């Protein structure tokens, strides 16, 4: 299995631009999680999905952030408009409920100038 | 509220020696999962080891083992025969056992391995 796939691996953009991060979970996994990691705040859970349905988005910092999961093999996290304080590493992780272990993708390093 | 505490921001170990990273947690649940993840400079989050709370036997994975003390709510990670490639941030995590299945992560311990 290829594991969790994220794209792009690195993104540099200017303030005000739209950013879209992509994730392909491990096939068969029914939970998908989006995290943000910064030095100041550590690992934060932004939102997670179960069977493509958003379950808890209480970690999404503000309305500029949105996430979708149109099917079992694809999810996006969008920031519009982006701000310098959004600079972070964004991780996607997936898990199979029965096993409980979350497997992380390689992350997307976002820099907003 | 469930919390996970890693009280050692940084640790150092000599190559080939053994080091133990500490983790404590707070929960009122009786059945849950605990994990250790490794994050090397590449930033990839790599699962090191997991422990089911209902199992009394401590989990082991090659040079990695845990000391799980359920009553004390302690979950330490022991790395034996430390290698340069073990240098990384190590995160302890607790999985909420039902409902949300969310993880609660500790703040991490940076491990340095000295040649």
pLDDT digits (tens, 9 = 90+) for B41-94: 988 999 999 999 988 899 999 999 999 999 999 999 999 999 999 999 999 999
Instruction: Print burial letters for A59-90: b (CB count within 10 Å at least 16), e (below 16).
Output: bbeeeebebebeebbebebebeebeeebbbbb
pLDDT of A1 > 70? The answer is no
CB contact under 8 A, A106 and B102: no
Q: Does A70 touch chain B (CB under 8 A)?
A: no
Provide the 3-class DSSP secondary structure of residue A49: strand
Q: Give residue-wise pLDDT tens across range A72-106.
A: 999 999 999 999 999 999 999 999 875 678 999 99
- Please list every residue in chain B whose beta carbon sits closer than 8 Å to the beta carbon of residue A104: 37, 44-46
């Amino acid at each position: 299995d290829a594991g969790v796939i994220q794209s792009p691996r690195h993104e540099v953009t200017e303030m005000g631009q739209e950013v879209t991060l992509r994730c392909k979970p491990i096939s068969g996994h029914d939970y998908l999680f989006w995290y943000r990691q910064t030095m100041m705040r550590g690992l934060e859970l932004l939102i997670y999905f179960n069977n493509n349905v958003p379950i808890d988005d209480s970690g999404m910092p503000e309305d500029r952030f949105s996430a979708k999961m149109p099917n079992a093999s694809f999810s996006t996290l969008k920031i519009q408009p982006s701000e310098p304080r959004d600079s972070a590493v964004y991780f996607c992780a997936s898990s199979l409920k029965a096993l409980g272990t979350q497997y992380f993708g390689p992350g997307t390093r976002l820099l907003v100038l | 509220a469930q919390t996970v505490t890693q009280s050692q921001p940084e640790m150092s170990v000599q190559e080939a020696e053994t080091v133990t990273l500490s983790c404590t947690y707070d929960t009122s649940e009786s059945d849950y999962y605990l994990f250790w993840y490794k994050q090397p400079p590449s930033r990839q989050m790599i699962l090191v080891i997991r422990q089911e709370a209902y199992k009394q036997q401590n989990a082991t994975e090659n040079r990695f083992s845990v000391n799980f003390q359920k009553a004390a709510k302690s979950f330490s990670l022991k790395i034996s025969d430390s290698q340069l490639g073990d240098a990384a941030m190590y995160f302890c995590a607790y999985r909420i056992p039902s409902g949300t299945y969310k993880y609660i992560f500790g703040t991490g311990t940076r491990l340095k391995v000295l040649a």
